[in-house]
Amino acid sequence: MALVAERDVLRGMGRGRHAGNQRWRQLVRNSLVAYNGANRDDRMLMAGLIVLEVQDSGGRFLEHDDNVGYLEMSNEDAARMTRQCFINLLYRMRRINDASRFFNNWANGNVDQLCDTLRTTRIVKDLTAKFSTNANFAKLVGALEENQSLKKFSLDLSICKDFESTESMISMLCTAISKHPVVSSLTILIPALGKDSTKAITDLIRVSITLKELRVVDSMTLSYTATAAPQRNGDCASSKKLMKALQENQHLKILAIPCRIAGGLIRFSDFMNYVWNSPRVESASLLGMGEKDTTDAGLKEVAELPRRQMPLIWGVDSRMANLCQESVCQLLEAHPEILIKPAVTTIGSTIVNALPPRVQFWAAFHRGGRYLLKRPYLSLSVWPHVMQAAKPDLIYEFLKQGPFFAGRTGGFAIQSNELPAPPKKKWISRKRKSDEISADLADV
């Protein structure tokens, strides 16, 4: 009979909380990837090494006997027990991967099963949910508040017809996400942003410290046309509070929001001023800008701003690019640090409308390396890669910059008369070199 110590590994059901079992299982978990790719002989060897590691640390493998108590197991039985632990963990890992693939695109499925999974396991990292009513939505929000593993959540409410239900669902979701410990990406697709949902999103931006990506897509903004212009109210209290919350936030890196919120309009110049003064922001989109006069003025204001220190990915609304083509091109010409991409409009897709040819040219020009051209410390070795991906008309533009390259030093081309003379080689005979080495060894 043996007395159980803290480092001992106990065999049998219900012994998993013992400190020795937890340490042993962690050793198995650390070698799980190598074990999965090993052959049969190597797997037996790895199990034996873990048994030896437990024994070297002062632990034993004990098995309970009803008549005697705990008895020490043989090394063969301990290795067999370790191999079985490997098998169980591998099976669980494969089952988790299958469950993750199942839950990643969940819509109108078994809500109770999903909520139980969110509460009790850590297998769901990325979840996409779609609701047409607020039925069972409270269950999902309650499960999110207890979840500890979800990192990316997308909610599609575009088919929900009840405006009040949509507002309440957004408020409940933002409250749960603000308390979640690890959620870093949130995408919401809704019919329209009302006062309550705008307030909930504003509070989320103000208090969240884990959220890095926020995309709010308003389907009413997307269906907007020039004949149905939004209300020109840049002084709306809701828009002011939202912009103030964005300025207070220190964590957002990717941001996409509609220009119309709660009956007001976010000015394009105010939004871009916030982006310009926030170097942490890497990508920004203001969706639904369509009033030509207002947008033109905002684009011209941004074009006059000083260069941004960090590159910015600008999600361009094709509607705005077509209405304000001249101003967009002026902005891109003045700021080579801006890179263009289509603005996100639905979960999992982007705008497919073609940008105007001139805007496409400047977008390709920037992707081809115009921003790199302005950096004084880049080597010429990067330019073959840039030219390989460039279009013929872009190469023509680069060739026009020839004097620009010729005048560069410190990594770029320099004149041949400025090159230092190569050092003269000092020839030493083998015998002389051997004598010098022998003398050095003698001194040692």
Entry pTM: 0.61
**Cα dihedral across residues 132, 137, 143, 147: positive or negative:** positive
**Residue 45: pLDDT above 60?**
yes
Q: What is the per-residue pLDDT for 235? A: 44
Across the range 240-259, mean pLDDT stands at: 89
DSSP for residue 329: H
One-letter identity of residue 307? R
**Residue 291: pLDDT above 50?**
yes
Strongest mean pLDDT among 92-96, 102-106, 112-116, 228-232: 112-116
β-sheet bridge partners, residue 189: 156, 217
Q: What is the per-residue pLDDT for 225? A: 39
Query: Are residues 287 and 314 in contact, defined by beta-carbon separation less than 8 angstroms?
Result: no
Q: What percent of the chain has pLDDT over 90?
A: 11
**Residue 213: pLDDT above 90?**
yes
Q: What is the per-residue pLDDT for 322? A: 80
* Residue 349 banded pLDDT, cuts 50, 70, 90: very low
Q: For the domain 98-373, what is the CATH code?
A: 3.80.10.10
Least confident of 5-14, 20-29, 64-73, 351-360: 351-360
Own/partner pairs, 43-49, CB within 8 angstroms, 24+ separation: 43/83, 43/86, 44/79, 44/83, 46/86, 47/79, 47/80, 47/82, 47/83, 47/86, 48/75, 48/79, 48/82
**Residue 99: pLDDT above 70?**
no
Own/partner pairs, 64-69, CB within 8 angstroms, 24+ separation: 64/10, 64/11, 64/12, 68/1, 69/1, 69/2
Q: What is the per-residue pLDDT for 384? A: 66
Q: What is the per-residue pLDDT for 172? A: 92
Least confident of 30-34, 177-181, 382-386: 382-386
Per-domain boundaries in the chain: 9-96, 98-373, 386-416
Rounded to whole angstroms, the Cα distance separating 249 from 251 reads: 6
For residues 69 and 14, the model is more confident at 69
Least confident of 186-195, 279-288, 405-414: 405-414
Q: What is the per-residue pLDDT for 402? A: 52
DSSP for residue 307: P
* Residue 261 banded pLDDT, cuts 50, 70, 90: confident
**Residue 170: pLDDT above 90?**
yes
* Residue 229 banded pLDDT, cuts 50, 70, 90: very low
* Residue 231 banded pLDDT, cuts 50, 70, 90: very low
Q: What is the per-residue pLDDT for 312? A: 86
Across the range 272-297, mean pLDDT stands at: 81
Mean pLDDT of the chain: 75
Q: Which of 145, 96, 146 is nearest to 125 (CA)?
A: 96
